[in-house]
Amino acid sequence: MQELIDNVIQWAEDRNLIAGSSPEKQLQKTAEELIELAVAVGRDSVSWEAATYAQEVADGIGDVLVTLIIVTEQLGLRVEDCLQFAYDEIKDRKGKMILGKFVKEIS
């Protein structure tokens, strides 16, 4: 995984996406990619070939990850540290599903 993250960072550096952009602009791109992912997930997967649906969704998730890796690099963070921080925040969280959405228990 680290090699893949390093490859994304190098790809972004080669295209001046890290120094030549800003975290704000990259987050705008993240939002665009997230919308595209939501559209792909929301499509009627029954009418699509399963492989096409999975490929569209995987591509969308990958695009979002690429933009977030670039943001972490711009901010001098490591994506692994951000993920670890988030996991540490949620690992003991309790809650319940309400209408298909996890609602955390307030302590």
pLDDT value, residue 86? 96
User: Nearest 5°: CA angle at 30, between 45 and 14?
Assistant: 115
User: What's the CATH architecture for 2-104?
Assistant: Orthogonal Bundle (1.10)
Residue 47 is predicted with a pLDDT of 65
Determine the Cα–Cα distance for residues 70 and 78; give it in Å rounded to an integer: 10
Written as tens digits, the pLDDT of the chain (107 aa) is 999 999 999 999 999 999 999 999 999 999 999 999 999 888 866 667 777 888 889 999 999 999 999 999 999 999 999 999 999 999 998 898 889 888 988 87
How many C-beta atoms lie closer than 10 Å to residue 8's C-beta? Answer: 20
Rounded to whole angstroms, the Cα distance separating 47 from 71 reads: 36
Q: Is the pTM of this model over 0.75?
A: yes
Q: Are strands 95-98 and 101-104 parallel, antiparallel or unpaired?
A: antiparallel
Domain positions in the chain are 2-104
- Among all chains, which residue has been given the structure tokens 């228990």? 105
**Structure confidence at residue 44 (pLDDT):** 67
Gap between the Cα atoms of 6 and 43, Å rounded: 32
